[in-house]
Amino acid sequence: MKLPAPTPALDPARVLTVGELTRRLKSVLEAAVPEIWIRGEVSNLRRQASGHVYFTLKDADSQLPCVFFRGSAMRTELELREGMQLLAYGQISIYEPRGAYQLVVRFVLEDGIGRLRQEFDRLKAKLAGEGLFDAAKKRPLPTRPRIIGFITSPDGAAVRDFISILRRRGWTGQLVILPAKVQGREAAPEMTAQLARAGRLKIFDLLVIGRGGGSLEDLWAFNDEALVRAVATCPVPVISAVGHETDFTLCDFAADRRAETPSAAAELISSAHLEQIEGVTTLALALHNFVENMLQQRRADLELYAHRWQAVSPRRWMEQAHLRLDDCAGRMHLQLRETIHERRDALHHTAAALMAHSPVARLPVERARLEGLEQRIAAAGVERVLARGFVLLSDHTGTPLTRRAQLTSGQKVRARFADGEAGLVAD
């Protein structure tokens, strides 16, 4: 029979709240640990808009959160960066809202190149010296892989982005996820095992190995020597797609192709697919245009032969003869009408000319002229003159006397008035 554990004595006066305990620990810690120098490697560096700088100091055994407040940060000329080996001077404190201890940094000094960076450069130089990264060893990627293996964490966002891009761009192959850790001590061995497994299966046309972005420590598994050698010697072409655009991992150098991110790897793979589709579409369009042009040319030739046949056919000749006959008949009728009109116009002109010289036409004119002469003669006649009060004198022979000298004294003359005659004797 298991005996129950004894219940500790409970003194309500000594029960602490979480805040009270945190404040006690803070005061004890700050009093027990004076301001000190700490050596470590900078990681997870973050600069806030307020001017405060947050980072972590790490070594092979542990890590320490640090805060470099704006006032202290502005007094140093050292530019903090990821992977820097740093000497930081400050005081240990506890951030009460989270109950987490941290180093409040007052001053910093650079402590040479970071351990991880040194290890990276050493291993890179070693493998490069062995010719592991030679460009001559890079294999071309298949233009249209049917089966792709992706060595990554199946739970990461990189897989979702990778699949989404392949689907959006119409890639029609098969994707196999080869699950492996991508961070921590077990990551490199698991990814190396998956590379070996993919080589044994002999079903893959292309392999992709990678993950999303992270710090140098997060991505360190991709600098593992065994993994890098496995990538370089894998019998299947490999794309390294570690999500860190500015820095490289050693897997990037060993792979046949590097992509900045898994999404970029998906675009690279699907781009070849799209180029082939575009090439096929272009060829189909060119073939269609060629056939269409051939059909148009043959149609034009057929129409030309049809026109030529119609031009030499008896029916065409008869039709042309009828057209010429109709044209001649029309022109003859037109010429005849024009001739008749011309003759009629000439006849009218001649008749008008004859009428202008006809006596019949001149009779009224001459009659009027004669009547005018008659009126003038009548106006100048003796009777008209006598009627105006004049007297006509004449001698016994009837000769008119127009001058006084023609008269002699006692001569008898005849005087003619309008209403008769009378005898007169000259004085």
Between residues 409 and 146, the one the model is more confident about? 146
| Cβ-contact 41, 83 below 8 angstroms | yes
Mean pLDDT (the chain, rounded): 84
Instruction: Please list the residue range(s) of the chain that carry CATH number 2.40.50.140.
Output: 18-113
Among the residue ranges 77-81, 216-220, 226-230, 343-347, the one predicted with the least confidence is 216-220
> Does residue 412 carry a pLDDT above 90?
no
Q: How far apart are CA 54 and CA 248, in angstroms?
A: 24
| Predicted confidence band of residue 244 (pLDDT cuts 50, 70, 90) | low
| Predicted confidence band of residue 89 (pLDDT cuts 50, 70, 90) | very high
> Does residue 70 carry a pLDDT above 60?
yes
Among the residue ranges 59-63, 122-126, 232-236, the one predicted with the least confidence is 59-63
Mean pLDDT across 395-419: 78
Strands 147-152 and 174-179: parallel
pLDDT digits (tens, 9 = 90+) for 263-283: 999 998 888 766 767 767 778
Task: Give the pLDDT confidence score for residue 347 in this predicted structure.
Answer: 85
Against a cut of 0.95, is the pTM above it? no
Mean pLDDT across 204-220: 86
Mean pLDDT across 350-360: 74
User: Which residue type is seen at 294?
Assistant: M
Task: Give the pLDDT confidence score for residue 407 in this predicted structure.
Answer: 79
| Predicted confidence band of residue 355 (pLDDT cuts 50, 70, 90) | confident
> Does residue 392 carry a pLDDT above 80?
no
> Does residue 46 carry a pLDDT above 80?
yes
> Does residue 12 carry a pLDDT above 80?
no
Task: Give the pLDDT confidence score for residue 245 in this predicted structure.
Answer: 58
| Cβ-contact 22, 99 below 8 angstroms | yes
pLDDT digits (tens, 9 = 90+) for 103-112: 999 999 877 5
Task: Give the pLDDT confidence score for residue 279 in this predicted structure.
Answer: 67
Of 49, 58, 62, the closest CA to residue 88 belongs to: 58
Backbone angles phi, psi at 174, to 5 degrees: -115, 135
Mean pLDDT across 31-58: 91
Q: Calculate what percentage of the chain has a pLDDT beyond 90.
A: 32
Instruction: Please list the residue range(s) of the chain that carry CATH number 3.40.50.2300.
Output: 145-275
Alpha helix stretches (DSSP H) within 221-261: 225-233, 250-254
Task: Give the pLDDT confidence score for residue 44 in this predicted structure.
Answer: 92
What would the two tokens of residue 271 be?
Answer: 């781009």
Q: How far apart are CA 17 and CA 22, in angstroms?
A: 9
| Cβ-contact 149, 176 below 8 angstroms | yes
Can you name the CATH fold of 145-275?
Rossmann fold (3.40.50)
pLDDT digits (tens, 9 = 90+) for 142-152: 888 999 999 99
**CATH architecture label of 18-113:** Beta Barrel (2.40)
| Predicted confidence band of residue 247 (pLDDT cuts 50, 70, 90) | low
